[in-house]
Amino acid sequence: KAGVTQTPRYLIKTRGQQVTLSCSPISGHRSVSWYQQTPGQGLQFLFEYFSETQRNKGNFPGRFSGRQFSNSRSEMNVSTLELGDSALYLCASSLTTATNEKLFFGSGTQLSVL
Amino acid sequence: SQQGEEDPQALSIQEGENATMNCSYKTSINNLQWYRQNSGRGLVHLILIRSNEREKHSGRLRVTLDTSKKSSSLLITASRAADTASYFCALTPDSWGKFQFGAGTQVVVTP
């Protein structure tokens, strides 16, 4: 069974631009979560989607948005990029939203904002 | 904060030694999980312990949970160079919410 796939692996953007990251979950998994990882802040929860609906949202500005499609694939978008948005963005999938589910992570998208 | 806080931030040991790291939190939880991350990659699930459990084992891993102290520990016995990674605790509050990760413990195992 294929794992969680994130594309692209690396991105370089400039301030003010926007970016879209993609995540394909493990087949059959309906929950997709996004995390931002920076050296100083660790993993920060962005949002979670289940069956095309946003279930939870972290404390990020409205420039960060996401969506989930009917095949459970998910995208996140960051508009008006800032230098501080440089980070590793991780996507994780699980079968359901139950709290005893373990998360399966992709390898992440490394975003650099210049 | 609902996040777990790992301690120490970094740990350096030699192969064959045990590595112990701790996670403290502030809210009541449903369960607590530990994950490992190799440099620049995604996280891999190691073990889950429920709030009504006190100890769990998986191979060379031993996890304890003390809900009265709001803390958990992860012990890796007989460390190997391949155990070099960052280790994160992830907790799920018993209120509505999703996994909250700490900043991690960076473990370096030297041959």
Contact A100 B31 (CB under 8 A): yes
Tally of CB atoms within 10 A around A5: 15
What value does the mean pLDDT take over residues B62-72?
96
- Would you place residue B93 in the very low, low, confident or very high pLDDT band (cuts 50, 70, 90)? low
pLDDT tens, A51-79? 999 988 899 999 999 999 999 999 999 99
Residues of B in contact with A35 (CB under 8 A): 101
Task: Tell which residue, A66, A26, A28, A22, has the closest CA to residue A46.
Answer: A66
- Cα–Cα distance between A105 and B2 in angstroms, integer? 21
| Residue carrying the six token digits 């502030």 | B26
Residues of A in contact with B3 (CB under 8 A): 42
Tally of CB atoms within 10 A around B62: 17
pLDDT tens, A38-49? 987 789 999 999
Residues of A in contact with B102 (CB under 8 A): 42
Select the residue from B95, B98, B105 to test the A interface by mutation, using most A Cβ atoms within 10 A.
B98
Contact B40 A88 (CB under 8 A): yes
Share of chain A above pLDDT 90, in %: 82
